[in-house]
Structure 1
Amino acid sequence: MEVTQPKTIENLPQDMLVEILSRVGSYSSDQLFMCKSVCKSFSKLSKDPLLLKRNPNAIFRWGLIGYFDGRHTDYGLECLKQASNSQLKEAVYVYGLIMFASCKIEEKHVGLQILNETFPPEPEMVVAVRTRVFDLLRCLCLFNRRHFAYVATSCPISDHRGYFPHIHGFELTILECMSCFWAYELGVFVNRFAYN
């Protein structure tokens, strides 16, 4: 009598596993996040470019959960980077601000470059994206404040006074210094994060 090996999910073809993950991700990003712990194949395929292409929103949520819950910070940041690379504006906003908030000057420049490449100098667009991000953070109950406990929210160029859109009589045009603008936006994000 021939003994057959038990069939496991690991025996399925890779393209089928990616298809399963992409369908799970389109239904629930939380379930997609949990799939990573099901088996080695799912863990490996969670970084598959095809999965990212099909589910940038799910990868973005996955990144938010991983980064802001404080338990999977490195993996969450990697997911945010992947979603940002797919040009999802919310992901670019979050990942860019995280990089811009870094105390490492190289990461700060990366963040500024990412933000400037994606967002035109239109504050209204940035406010709309910020609102969507905070709506999502609120839905996911993700307000781990420790990530922004000691963030400098001033322009890294020391002689700049900054961007003050609400003070009558002085407003630095954002075209003059996008670093001032994003420092201001980082301050808004951090303050809103602290009081939600």
Structure 2
Amino acid sequence: MAATQYSIVEALPQDMLAEILSRVGRDSCQQLFLTKTVCRDFSEVSFDPLVFKRLCLDRFPIVHFGNPKLTMLFDRCFFYGNPNMIYRRGLTCYFNSHDYTELGLRLLKQATEMKVLEAVYVYGLIMFAKHEIKFRDVGLQILIEAFPPLPDLVVAVRNRVFAMLSRLWLFNRQPFEEVATRCPNLAHQGYWPDAHGWEQQLQPPDCMSCFWAFELGVFVQRFHYQ
């Protein structure tokens, strides 16, 4: 029976095997590593670029203290365009360095265009926090297009972002210094979040500028205490 199973695997073209393994790795890196041990074909195909591009990185720390195996893995994922790795590299360059903030912002923008929700949240808020109205409008539009006005989703993404930021030394705090955290429409009283981020008993405001202005306020307050 085992020989029959291996014959089926050997009969599949390499691109199909790569597609199978990339889907396994996209859902769980642990399952991918287990799958590699099934047979030599799976082990060989696990080095296909598609596998690195889709690999789930949730189990890996953002800071790995020079672990050579993790360094090699992360570099391969980045080289082959893994969206989550691009987001991680952007987060590190932007907040963890004085010298690579511009690179970090470009990588966060790239990850945003690749639909990484955490990157959308961070990059959108960075733009929305700027004083120039043209940048605020860009940031607001990015956030509106990616997030429905659902506080639970926004809070969940915010928590994942801070789980990453908590592992970094935050050298660059300038983007969130003295930012306006009220809706620029003076006719709006705004919508004040509670201590956890949003008042659960109230519906989100109709004005998305109010919604994201006060989400920015929550982010800034928490960011300053990181």
Shorter-chain TM-score above 0.5: yes
Does residue 160 in structure 1 map to residue 207 in structure 2?
A: no
Does residue 90 in structure 1 map to residue 118 in structure 2?
A: yes
Does residue 75 in structure 1 map to residue 103 in structure 2?
A: yes
Equivalent in 158, 178, 181 of residue 208 of structure 2: 178
Cα distance in structure 2, aligned partners of 1:191 and 1:165: 12
Cα distance in structure 1, aligned partners of 2:220 and 2:205: 23
Equivalent in 74, 77, 90 of residue 63 of structure 1: 90
Cα distance in structure 2, aligned partners of 1:77 and 1:87: 15
Cα distance in structure 2, aligned partners of 1:174 and 1:138: 28
- Map 1:2-151 to 2 at 5 A: 19=49, 22=52, 31=71, 51-52=80-81, 55-69=82-96, 70-142=98-170, 144-151=172-179
Instruction: List 4+ stretches of structure 1 deviating above 3 A.
Output: 25-32, 141-144, 171-175
The residue type equivalent to 1:95 in the other structure is Y
After TM superposition, give the deviation of residue 173 of structure 1 in Å: 4.9
Kindly indicate whether the alpha-carbon contact (under 8 Å) linking 1:164 and 1:172 is maintained by their aligned counterparts in 2.
Answer: no
Cα distance in structure 2, aligned partners of 1:131 and 1:182: 16
**In terms of Rg, which structure is larger?**
2
CA deviation digits over 1:144-172, x for unaligned, max 9?
Answer: 322211211111112211112449xxx98
2:198 is matched with: none
119-128 vs 132-141, which deviates more?
132-141
Cα distance in structure 1, aligned partners of 2:155 and 2:225: 17
Cα distance in structure 2, aligned partners of 1:185 and 1:162: 11
Structure 2 length normalisation: TM-score?
0.61
Kindly indicate whether the alpha-carbon contact (under 8 Å) linking 1:162 and 1:172 is maintained by their aligned counterparts in 2.
Answer: no
After TM superposition, give the deviation of residue 102 of structure 1 in Å: 1.1
The residue type equivalent to 1:174 in the other structure is P
2:29 is matched with: none
The residue type equivalent to 1:148 in the other structure is F
Cα distance in structure 1, aligned partners of 2:171 and 2:149: 28
**Residues 80, 59 of structure 1: CA spacing in aligned structure 2 closer, same or farther, 3 A cutoff?**
same
Cα distance in structure 2, aligned partners of 1:62 and 1:166: 32
**Residues 143, 122 of structure 1: CA spacing in aligned structure 2 closer, same or farther, 3 A cutoff?**
farther
After TM superposition, give the deviation of residue 80 of structure 1 in Å: 0.2
Identity of aligned residues (%): 51
**Residues 114, 181 of structure 1: CA spacing in aligned structure 2 closer, same or farther, 3 A cutoff?**
same
**Residues 131, 143 of structure 1: CA spacing in aligned structure 2 closer, same or farther, 3 A cutoff?**
farther
Equivalent in 179, 185, 188 of residue 218 of structure 2: 188
Q: What is the number of equivalent residue pairs in this alignment?
A: 158
